[in-house]
Amino acid sequence: MFDNLSDKLQDVFDNLGKKGRLTEADVDKALRQVRLALLEADVNYKVVKNFIARVKERAVGADVMHSLSPAQQVIKIVHEELVATLGEAEPLNLSGNPPHVIMLVGLQGSGKTTTAAKLAKRLRKQGQRPLLVAADTYRPAAVKQLEILGEQLEIPIHSEGVDPPPPEIVNRALRRARQEARTIVIIDTAGRLTIDEQMMDELVKIKTLSKPNEVLLVADAMTGQEAVRVATDFHKQVGLTGLILTKVDGDARGGAAISMRAVTGVPIKFIGVSEKLDGLEPFYPDRMASRILGMGDVLTMIEKAEEVMDKEDAVRMEKKLRKGEFDLDDFLKQMRQVRKMGPLSSLLGMIPGMGKMAKEIDHEATDKQLRHIEAIISSMTFAERHNPRIINASRKRRIAKGSGTSVQEVNELLSQFRQMQRLMKQLQSGKRGGLGGLFGGMGF
């Protein structure tokens, strides 16, 4: 979402870094470019004006202008003020006696129903016992969609079709939650194409009845400043406690995310990073600011790795690597785990300094190559995976046929794997050049 903004800001800072000493004119020129980049990213103009004023006030101070690395000081200030604009990270409020009620509101098409299921899945992983409530009776497809998602996730749904009034459905759902000792109740309320009085009256009734811990607006990041206006209107009439931005992985300009906290005063609590049911992440302003400025996001990458990688497997793998016993079966397991973490370009973008490389990757070609590698290794026998040296010409033909690839692709994989094994031995022996080649060892 922030690719274009990130590129432009990095260009500004690269030019700033070429100067040994900064004058006030240098800072003014750089901040004009930053202002333009933010406005083009659809950031609210008042937010941009205040942001630039705060940065300039700090950036032209004596400590910055006379420091040994003034450009780095300016970048640091921009990062700190961007974090301040995005606000502090705020977790869900789950205080008090259960069941804790989370009420999701928003316009039709914002991804509210899917987000309800994503949130339920995330909370269940944290030890909660969620109940989803289908209270969007104006759109029959929403009720059916939530029922399907609940069945898929094996999370109970309270659904009464489209006939009863939503407040009555919510009232009975709360009674059921208490009877079944559910700790979380997530209410999927009705949306409209536009905000209307009837919808708001109904939401106020549901809020009064359910006394929610959280009232979260689900907003589509692709709608830009319209999402900020919607958030402002909902907050005035219903009283929001947080925001969830969906479709952050889309081709949005990113301005809504930067503007919403500053304009509404309501924190962004989650962002939807993919259409998959595990594609909901907590919103960390400092990490988002680092991503926008091309500084990477190592903490999120580590958390993603911890989610998909078993600690015992990781220890065993480390021992095998140290002994030089890493085989194709191990490589297949590791590749599958890495793929669960998300697209390779997304992971590279979280590594400081690798942002530009991530943008140069052909996503479709890389994904196709990984699928071919997985198919080839999956078509091998247990013995062949553990000892690729036994793979002769006839075995290669069988593997190629079984994986839907060519003998040439099988040969390339085996050749690249041998090269990677040699690089690993070099790393163990302390020879230089191994790590750089390791990333390209399998042809990426």
Rounded percentage of the chain residues whose pLDDT exceeds 90: 28
CATH number of 100-293: 3.40.50.300
- pLDDT tens by residue, 338-355: 766 666 656 655 555 545
pLDDT interval class at 434 (50, 70, 90): very low
Which superfamily does 3-86 belong to?
Answer: SRP54, nucleotide-binding domain (1.20.120.140)
Q: Give the 3-state secondary structure of residue 274.
A: coil
Give span(s): CATH 3.40.50.300, the chain.
100-293
Mean pLDDT of 164-185: 94
- pLDDT tens by residue, 94-126: 988 999 999 999 888 888 999 999 999 999 999
Rounded percentage of the chain residues whose pLDDT exceeds 70: 75
Give span(s): CATH 1.10.260.30, the chain.
302-440
DSSP string, 307-347: HHS-HHHHHHHHHHHHHT---HHHHHHHHHHHHHT--HHHH
Give span(s): CATH 1.20.120.140, the chain.
3-86
Binning the chain into helix, strand and coil, the percentages to the nearest 5 are 60, 10, 30
pLDDT (0 to 100) of residue 407: 92
CA–CA distances in Å: residue 202 to residues 70, 105, 125, 190, 253: 55, 11, 31, 9, 33
* Structural tokens at position 88: 């502090």
- pLDDT tens by residue, 16-32: 777 666 677 878 888 88
Q: Comparing 16-20, 24-28, 145-149, 328-332, which segment has the lowest mean pLDDT? A: 16-20
pLDDT interval class at 442 (50, 70, 90): very low
- pLDDT tens by residue, 81-92: 888 888 888 889
380 near 399, Cβ under 8 Å?
Answer: yes
Provide the whole-model pTM.
0.66
Mean pLDDT of 240-257: 75
Omega before residue 167 within 30° of 0, cis: no
Which superfamily does 302-440 belong to?
Answer: Signal recognition particle, SRP54 subunit, M-domain (1.10.260.30)
